[in-house]
Chains A and B, each alone.
Chain A
Amino acid sequence: MATQTQKQLHWQGLSLRRGGRLLFDRLEGQLAAGEMLHLTGPNGAGKTSLLRIMAGLAVPDAGQVRLDEQAWPDREAGLPLCWLGHATGLLPNLTGRQNLHLAGQIAAANDRALSGWTDGDGDIFAIARFIDQPVRQLSQGQLRRLALSRLLLSEPQAIWLLDEPDTALDAASRAALDQLLARHCARGGRMIITRHAPPADFAPHRELALKGAG
């Protein structure tokens, strides 16, 4: 795994068409360990679609993503991946604790157990107060904080794909999120992120502007 973490994620010639409209055409880019890529662009420019392609949840019409020479995403042998989209990924009928436990189990490859949530985990999103309530009773902001807490269970070399992680967050949680992002990059992780209203001191290593031409 030591070599895995040094590999470059890069993509060439990515094109995607949705409903006859060209969202992006022959996109190039790369992402090394410890880097943060900020996707910018107006609504409908294809930011979410590009993130879904990176996560392996969508297939581009042309082009490919690779991790050095390896195919990407490789769900078993590649780098661990942490996806956070518009939907929170929390099952409504389970409690927050059960959801986080389940998320830890799912993310663990080959039965290499990720510890589930423990109260000593550095509760930076202050979820302890509602972690044992069924998720369907929580507010949007609380849901988002639970979903973000999943990032705390992730491995340091993981690639994070975050689509508007600030949605519905209060100021304290936003600050916590910024710290968490910086810490992940400092530890050699990497991420691709979209943010509508980034904080003033937000300093991504790379930017990729999608124009939404077409």
Chain B
Amino acid sequence: MMRFFLTCLGADLRASLAQPGDILAQLGFFVMITALFVLAAGPEGDRLVLIGLAGLWMAALASMVPAFDRLYEAEARSGWLDQLLVSPQPLWLFVLAKVAGYYISHAVPLLLVSPLMMVWLTLPLALLPVLLASLGLGLAGLVLLGALGAALTVGARRGAILAAILVLPLSVPLLIFGVLAGQAALSQTPAAPHLQLLAAAVLFLLVIVPMATGFALRTAAENG
């Protein structure tokens, strides 16, 4: 079972690396939204410090969500998903491998540039550990939600919009706990309770999403 997981993960990462343009475009989008946010907020006083954290989270969400509908695109269109559906392999494990692969290829680069964005938003460097922890957890939850949203819209026209409309409302708890953790760190109060709530939300999704997504993928094939 572990080997199937690792094989799928390896195939997914190899496929992502073969097309680095997708990752770079998303990263560029993230940087661009942050830059526009800095310009829109203006440089006066410490206004940017107060709302910069919110801006960073919005940029992260906005750059992640539009690509979700393509999560299974290659698999579905090439008929590879059908091959998986007739095989003895558990679908939930494929979904988990897909989530892990997407996290590594799309969320980790975003985490890597976020310290730079932090400087841009004039946030204090002391915020860095809490920011990385909260954004890392929040993006994990977001990718899990995206995996479910993408499965529900496989083969649908306007899948990108549909997936975004499905995913964004569900990501509200992640956003709230994530920003609260950062704000707590900014005001030098403990951030741990918020991070723990965020981790709990991610764990909940980790249990629910693979099963539900596997079911959604099978249903999509049967009606396709």
Q: A87-B77, A93-B18 are in contact. Are A105 and B83 (CB under 8 A)?
A: no
- CB-nearest residue of chain A to B76: A87
Interface centre among B4, B16, B86, B88 (most CB of A within 10 A): B86
Measured between beta carbons, the chain B residues less than 8 angstroms from A98 are 11, 14
Q: Which of A70-108 contact B (CB under 8 A)?
A: 73, 75-76, 80-81, 83, 85-94, 98, 101-103, 105-108
Measured between beta carbons, the chain B residues less than 8 angstroms from A87 are 77-79, 82
- CB-nearest residue of chain A to B3: A111
**Interface pair A109/B11, CB less than 8 Å apart:** no
**Interface pair B88/A57, CB less than 8 Å apart:** no
Question: A interface, how many residues as a size bin?
Answer: 20 to 34
B188 CB, nearest partner CB in chain A, Å: 47
- CB-nearest residue of chain A to B89: A106
Q: Does A141 contact B (CB under 8 A)?
A: no
Measured between beta carbons, the chain B residues less than 8 angstroms from A108 are 88
Q: A91-B74, A93-B14, A93-B15 are in contact. Are A103 and B3 (CB under 8 A)?
A: no
Partner of A59, one of B1, B77, B89, B222: B222
Q: Which of A109-162 contact B (CB under 8 A)?
A: 109-111, 134
**Interface pair A107/B87, CB less than 8 Å apart:** yes
CA distance in complex: A73, B77 (Å): 23
**Interface pair A106/B78, CB less than 8 Å apart:** no
B222 CB, nearest partner CB in chain A, Å: 5
Interface centre among A76, A87, A110 (most CB of B within 10 A): A87
The total of chain B residues at the interface (CB under 8 A) is 27
CA distance in complex: A86, B79 (Å): 8
Partner of B83, one of A89, A94, A101: A89
**Interface pair B80/A75, CB less than 8 Å apart:** no
Across the A-B interface, the 9 shortest Cβ-Cβ residue pairs: A87-B79, A93-B15, A109-B88, A93-B18, A89-B79, A89-B83, A106-B87, A83-B86, A105-B7
11 cross-chain CB contacts under 8 A: A55-B86, A57-B85, A87-B77, A91-B74, A93-B14, A94-B11, A94-B14, A102-B11, A105-B7, A110-B88, A111-B4
Residues of B within 8 A of A (CB): 1, 3-4, 7-8, 11, 14-16, 18-19, 74-75, 77-80, 82-89, 221-222
